[in-house]
Amino acid sequence: MDKRTLSLLIKQQALQLGFDDCGIAEAKALEQEGRFLQIWLQNGYHAGMDYMANHWDKRTDPTRLMEGARSVICLLSNYKPKQWQSPAHPQIAAYAYGPDYHRLLKEKLHLLKSSINTHTRANMRLFTDTAPILERAWAVRAGLGWIGKSSLLITSRFGPYTFISVILINIELAYDAPMEAQCGDCIHCIEACPTGALCAPYTLDARRCISYHTIESKSPCTINPGSNIFGCNHCIRACPWGDKTHSTTLFTPLPGILQNTAKDWEKMSLDDFNQHFAGSALQRAGLAKIQNTLKLWNRRQKNAPQNFL
């Protein structure tokens, strides 16, 4: 089977399995993206995420991550929710409304791998945000979208509401052309960031980022999170491209996550948390951190009410 026919079959099967888009790029070193990452790290914008400097060769060159890799298959999954939380409730990042996306997407990746193996014998590695690979850069190389001024992947069909999955494969395929950036003069995402974490176009300073402080940081939150107790939706909801995105039913919100009030989170026991959110992205922060962040917001709200969502 020729590479164009196989590439088309892979894309068709990906859509049939429930992925929303698929693009393919040549597996080679990301030189320009690597230089940008190096400057980002040198400026300390990674805060406490020291792992971003680890495995540099693998992070910037997929052929070091998988010997013999020839192609990078990128897959997008739309996660825009049908319903948002009330602004009066403590806020959860939209990507965490439903079950953990890693597990759901990994299952689909294995199905796609099996399908590919019916057409060709190939070695593959599957990734869902679980390895040192620059998923957003590869999605751009695969013609699926562009990097927005929020530093997120933006697509014309799904705005910033996408999960990215990656397959490295050791055969040559037909490659897609990168897409030109289409943000123009828009800076809505930068203006919407309540802490100034988007310190310049395309540049995120995690030291000021609500998502970093409420999820990734091992220390208690030291900035004003507004009502955000797990992640932040400000820059993604400000993106005009997201307004055109249809919602999805793939990641159904977990029971109670849209309705939980501050009191609900305050009185929640660890047993209740584990029962309702076992296997969800919220486990990454844990109940203790979520409740500590909520206390910080409550304390600051009493002293100096803020206009955060």
Distance of CA 231 to the CA centre of its chain: 11
- Catalytic positions, written as ranges: 129
d(CA 206, CA 45): 5
What token pair was written down for 102?
Answer: 């890693």
d(CA 271, CA 15): 38
Give me the torsion for CA of 290, 296, 298, 301, rounded to 10°: -140
Residue 222's alpha-carbon distances to 44, 210, 293, in angstroms, are 17, 10, 9
d(CA 237, CA 161): 9
What token pair was written down for 99?
Answer: 């079950």
Q: How big is the chain by its Cα radius of gyration, in Å?
A: 20
